[in-house]
Structure 1
């Protein structure tokens, strides 16, 4: 794997703004502008851009023996974050700190977290979907963090969150530093096609329902 050497960074150096936990509890989702300070967000953006084509894989849908790639549904490329790389480790540390806060404020019993970088080339999309189905997955909370500087409405690529009757609850511009958190098994959502390369980090907080060391859902 070929990676550009990242600038030195204390893995605990990320500085974040507060989340409205009351809103998350009441609505089931929250949008946090400027969650991460701009210099750190810029470093993550530059890091994502520095990755080589071989560092990404075509994103798929489904799990285990149902896992498949279907570009009629989903067209992004992904890279799972690992502790072996400094900026990736710093992000994972930041989100684990958030897990502790959520558990303290909302008593959700979140056990761990996994996430991947997502790259949507111009024109790429992800059709309507749920991240989890009740009783069939340990994904509890979805997080989406955006890395795109100077993103405008004309650039597209919005995240659309739908209500239980199919109504649009939120249309979210993927602006750098913005964090979206929502219940994984409640909100159908989609990513609209954009006109620029679009980078984000999507992750899931999970309950511990692993069996014999096998994590559900399978990556």
Structure 2
């Protein structure tokens, strides 16, 4: 799906799922980089909230993250950043969202971990406008669990649930403040790059 099609889907329904967003070689390289960072102990337990309100709450989320520093990106991260920049331009042209920057981290869900229903945009991070999730796993089946469950507007008052499994190379893009979602319990290690297009500068 080209960048313009992503922007159109975001404008029309608030979300889209793109299989094969990156090449298989690029996926493997990013996965290896994630594994190297993990081996060097650079992942931390993810928390809830921002600044003084930040808390580790494993009853709500139990993943680990390693933030990328936009000022010292690795060559692979720079390549991914460029892809997101192209999406940012297309979305701004189509949706007039005023997106100005991007932040992202590697995320790793160990077996048994999850993240309860939430929105990515809340009181302390209103600047997060569009969420992007790129999955890096080698293989995945429905039996492995770990689906991203999105709660989409249905007819009338009824929500529709859509489960997206973390198949390697698959990209999910959605409006951060409008699509409630959760990560269902995973039975094996689940790896992604999760990021947010923002309406503020760095």
TM-score by length of 2: 0.89
Map 1:65-104; keep pairs closer than 5 Å. Answer: 65-82=52-69, 83-104=72-93
- Note if contact 2:10-2:174 (Cα within 8 Å) is conserved in structure 1: yes
Map 1:124-203; keep pairs closer than 5 Å. Answer: 124-133=113-122, 137-164=126-153, 165=157, 167-203=159-195
| Shift of residue 163, structure 1, vs aligned partner | 2.7
Which of the residues 60, 83, 90 maps onto 2:47? 60
Structure with the larger helix share: 2
| Shift of residue 97, structure 1, vs aligned partner | 2.3
Q: Which runs of 5+ in 2 are unaligned?
A: none
- Note if contact 1:160-1:168 (Cα within 8 Å) is conserved in structure 2: no
Aligned-partner Cα distance in 2 for 1:180–1:146: 9
Aligned-partner Cα distance in 2 for 1:77–1:178: 20
Aligned-partner Cα distance in 1 for 2:122–2:63: 22
**Structure 1 match to 2:95:** 106
**Structure 2 match to 1:8:** none
| Shift of residue 136, structure 1, vs aligned partner | 6.2
- Note if contact 2:114-2:184 (Cα within 8 Å) is conserved in structure 1: yes
- Note if contact 2:50-2:124 (Cα within 8 Å) is conserved in structure 1: no
Which of the residues 100, 110, 118 maps onto 1:121? 110
Aligned-partner Cα distance in 2 for 1:191–1:94: 25
* 2:30 is the alignment partner of 1:44: yes
Q: What is the root-mean-square deviation in Å for CA atoms of aligned residues?
A: 1.9
- Note if contact 1:29-1:180 (Cα within 8 Å) is conserved in structure 2: yes
* Greater relative contact order (Cα < 8 A, sep 6+): 2
Q: Which runs of 5+ in 1 are unaligned?
A: 1-16
Q: Deviations over 1:66-118 (max 9, x none)?
A: 11110000100001112342222222222122212222233221000000000
